[in-house]
Structure formats: structure tokens, C-alpha cells
């Protein structure tokens, strides 16, 4: 039977991208990048978000691609932010079809129609990408916010730098713990994700995972869930210090629901840890499987 440490390390490995997934992801985002360049004047395009920071969990979806537009497209900047999102959506619909393309608050999503099978397997295929129009603004960027009609500042490169620093300070286990928490957040048993956006989990982890790696995955996750339950109602600023709070979407209705789910996760983690104390390793594995979902191993 697996030990708890072995199970968590196997779980962490399952959440990491394999060579076939990396190849499919590369093929897909390269295809989108090359196509967008035929429709808009692009200075440069690059990967951002949790995929680039290696905190993306599975099933793999919503790979963020930033498109920094040239001055020839500056007329979009003088219009309401939704205009450029509509233009990108129209361009992508022409290639991928109406059903596959969805305008979001700050990006346009392209869904590749991949089925998610048992144990969240996708035959090593990615589900979707998010296309983000942007303009350079000094050393930072401006991206459209379709909800407000305004352009907001961001800097994904600063986000990546902070994640790297946190990972190194946590004996290179920080990103694995974040992926695990995001996978819990994606569990269909919740219905709607308790914590939105998923990036908020990563932002909270910059503070909630503190003191350095303690050496035990089960205790680290129990503490992480408990601390997030206590602090989910806090205002969590953009780590780059530029855009609106990352916790903006966590309103008075979402916060209590998320707090309840996180507190329940912490209690389940307590139960699993107690099973181990009592020598019931198999029961502990079952609790962790119930908490996280089908990718957590039982054997």
C-alpha cells in the first residue's frame, strides 16, 4: 500500500504536464498565435498565466496567450474595451466556429471540443486557450476589461517572478501544492468553483503558504485549506500592484460558500491525518481521494 507521502508525490506527478501534453499544447497555441497574426498587427505574442508559471492543473485548459499589438492597432485603445474583444472573437469564430468561441471578461476563449474521460484523462490533449489582446504601457501592459469597458494595467511577468520566488523559498514544493489546491477547486462535486478566479488560490498561497516546507504534504494541505477558509473574505490585491484586486469576484454570496467548502476540506484533511495516526493508512487515502478527486491515487 502507498504511504501518504508516496500517494501525494504520485498525485503531484499526475498533475504535471507530460511530453505528449506539452506537444499538443505547443501545437495548439502555436496554431492560434500564427492565425491571430494574420488578422491583427502584432508586435509580439507570448504565453502567460498559470500555464507559463507551471501552476496550471488538469485537465489542462485556458492556456493564456498575450498578444501585444502594434501602434497600427492603437485605435482600439481609444474605444471601449469590449470593442477589441468583439473583434478578436469575430476573427476566431471565422476559423473555429461560433460554438467554439466565447468572449470573456478580459479574453476570448477557444474550446477545442476535447472530451474529459474517467480520472480526468483527455488523451493528452488540451481543452482550450484564452486569447488576451494587450498594449504595452511602459514596462507593463494594458488589457481590456469587458465588464467595465475600461482598460486595466497588468504585468504577468511580475506574477511569474513572484511565483518563482515562492517556489524556491518552499523547497521547490510550492507550485505542486498550488496545483493540488486548484485541482480541488475544479472538483465537479462543488458545482461551481468555490474560489474564483483560480488565480486567487495562487495569490493567497503567496501569503498562506509561509514558513517554508514542513516536509509533509498532508499537513501542508490541511494548513493551506484552513488558512484560506479564514482569509477568503480578505481583499487580495494584484501581486503586480497594477490591476483591480484578484478577489474582486468574491462577493458577499461567493465568500460564505467558499469558506464553507474550504473549511470542509480542512476538516477532511484533519480526518485523514488522524486515520494515519491510528494506523489506518488505507482509510486516509480514501479520504484524500474523496477530497481531491479521481487523480489522487489509492494504489
Model confidence over 102-160: pLDDT tens digits?
A: 999 999 999 999 988 877 788 888 899 999 999 999 999 999 999 999 999 999 999 99
State the sign of the Cα–Cα–Cα–Cα dihedral 169, 57, 154, 42: positive
Please state the rounded mean pLDDT for residues 89-112: 97
pLDDT of residue 52 exceeding 90: no
Please state the rounded mean pLDDT for residues 73-99: 97
Query: CA-to-CA distance for 217 and 276, rounded, in angstroms?
Result: 13
pLDDT of residue 184 exceeding 80: yes
pLDDT value of residue 1: 81
Half-sphere exposure of 198 (CA within 13 A, CB side): 22
Find, among 278, 71, 295, the residue nearest to 183 by Cα. 295
Please state the rounded mean pLDDT for residues 282-289: 97
Find, among 93, 112, 113, 94, the residue nearest to 103 by Cα. 93
Query: CA-to-CA distance for 116 and 173, rounded, in angstroms?
Result: 27
* Mean pLDDT across the chain: 94
Q: What angle do CA 149, 245, 132 make, to 5 degrees?
A: 50
pLDDT of residue 276 exceeding 90: yes
Reported as a single tens digit per residue, the pLDDT across 251-269 is: 999 999 999 999 999 999 9
Please state the rounded mean pLDDT for residues 184-212: 93
Quick one: CATH architecture of 18-155? Answer: 2-Layer Sandwich (3.30)
Residues of the chain with CATH 3.30.460.90: 18-155
231: phi then psi, degrees, rounded to nearest 5: -115, 5
Going by their DSSP bridges, the two strands 63-69 and 150-154 should be labelled as unpaired
In this prediction, residue 56 has a pLDDT band, given cuts at 50, 70 and 90, of confident
Per DSSP, 116 falls in state P
Alpha-carbon distances, residue 204 vs 93, 109, 135 (angstroms)? 35, 25, 28
- CB contact burial 16-48 (16+ within 10 A = b; e otherwise): ebeeebeebbeebbeebbebbeeebebeebebb
Please state the rounded mean pLDDT for residues 215-233: 97
Q: Determine the 3-state secondary structure of 163 from DSSP.
A: helix
Query: CA-to-CA distance for 15 and 60, rounded, in angstroms?
Result: 9
Query: CA-to-CA distance for 272 and 95, rounded, in angstroms?
Result: 49
Helices and strands, counts by H and E, the chain:
10, 7
Taking the CA atoms of residue 72, residue 73, residue 78 and residue 82 in that order, the dihedral angle to the nearest 10 degrees is: 170
Question: HEC string of 175-241?
Answer: HHHHHHHHHHHCCHHHCCCCCCCCHHHHHHHHHHCCCCCCCCHHHHHHHHHHHHHHHCCCCCCCCCC
Please state the rounded mean pLDDT for residues 4-14: 96
In this prediction, residue 49 has a pLDDT band, given cuts at 50, 70 and 90, of confident
**pTM for this structure?**
0.90
Q: What angle do CA 54, 8, 292 make, to 5 degrees?
A: 80
pLDDT of residue 279 exceeding 90: yes
pLDDT of residue 50 exceeding 90: no
pLDDT value of residue 21: 86
Reported as a single tens digit per residue, the pLDDT across 60-81 is: 888 999 999 999 999 999 999 9
Query: CA-to-CA distance for 153 and 24, rounded, in angstroms?
Result: 31
Percent of the chain with pLDDT over 90: 83
Find, among 216, 207, 228, 229, the residue nearest to 276 by Cα. 216
Amino acid at each position: 500500500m502507498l504511504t501518504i507521502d508516496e500517494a501525494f508525490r504520485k498525485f503531484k506527478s499526475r498533475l504535471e504536464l507530460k511530453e505528449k501534453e506539452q506537444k499538443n499544447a505547443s501545437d495548439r497555441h502555436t496554431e492560434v498565435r500564427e492565425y491571430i497574426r494574420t488578422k491583427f498587427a502584432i508586435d509580439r505574442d507570448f504565453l502567460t498565466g498559470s500555464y507559463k508559471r507551471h501552476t496550471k492543473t488538469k485537465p489542462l485548459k485556458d492556456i493564456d496567450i498575450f498578444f501585444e499589438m502594434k501602434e497600427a492597432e492603437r485605435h482600439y485603445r481609444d474605444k471601449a474595451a469590449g470593442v477589441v474583444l468583439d473583434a478578436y472573437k469575430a476573427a476566431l469564430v471565422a476559423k473555429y466556429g461560433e460554438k467554439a468561441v466565447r468572449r470573456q471578461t478580459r479574453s476570448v476563449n477557444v474550446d477545442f471540443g476535447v472530451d474529459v474521460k474517467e480520472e480526468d484523462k483527455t488523451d493528452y490533449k488540451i481543452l482550450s486557450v484564452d486569447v488576451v489582446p494587450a498594449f504595452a504601457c511602459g514596462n507593463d501592459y494594458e488589457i481590456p476589461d469587458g465588464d467595465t469597458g475600461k482598460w486595466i494595467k497588468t504585468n504577468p511577468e511580475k506574477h511569474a517572478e513572484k511565483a518563482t520566488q515562492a517556489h524556491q523559498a518552499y523547497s521547490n514544493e510550492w507550485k505542486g501544492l498550488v496545483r493540488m489546491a486548484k485541482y480541488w477547486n475544479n472538483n465537479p462535486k462543488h458545482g461551481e468553483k468555490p474560489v474564483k478566479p483560480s488565480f486567487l488560490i495562487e495569490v493567497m498561497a503567496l501569503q498562506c503558504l509561509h514558513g517554508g516546507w514542513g516536509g509533509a504534504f498532508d499537513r501542508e494541505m490541511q494548513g493551506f485549506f484552513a488558512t484560506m477558509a479564514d482569509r477568503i473574505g480578505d481583499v487580495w490585491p494584484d501581486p503586480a500592484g497594477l490591476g483591480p484586486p484578484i478577489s474582486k469576484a468574491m462577493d458577499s454570496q461567493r465568500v460564505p460558500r467558499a469558506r464553507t467548502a474550504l473549511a470542509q476540506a480542512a476538516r477532511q484533511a484533519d480526518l485523514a491525518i488522524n486515520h494515519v495516526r491510528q494506523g489506518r493508512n488505507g482509510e486516509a487515502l480514501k479520504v484524500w481521494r474523496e477530497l481531491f478527486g479521481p487523480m489522487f491515487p489509492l494504489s
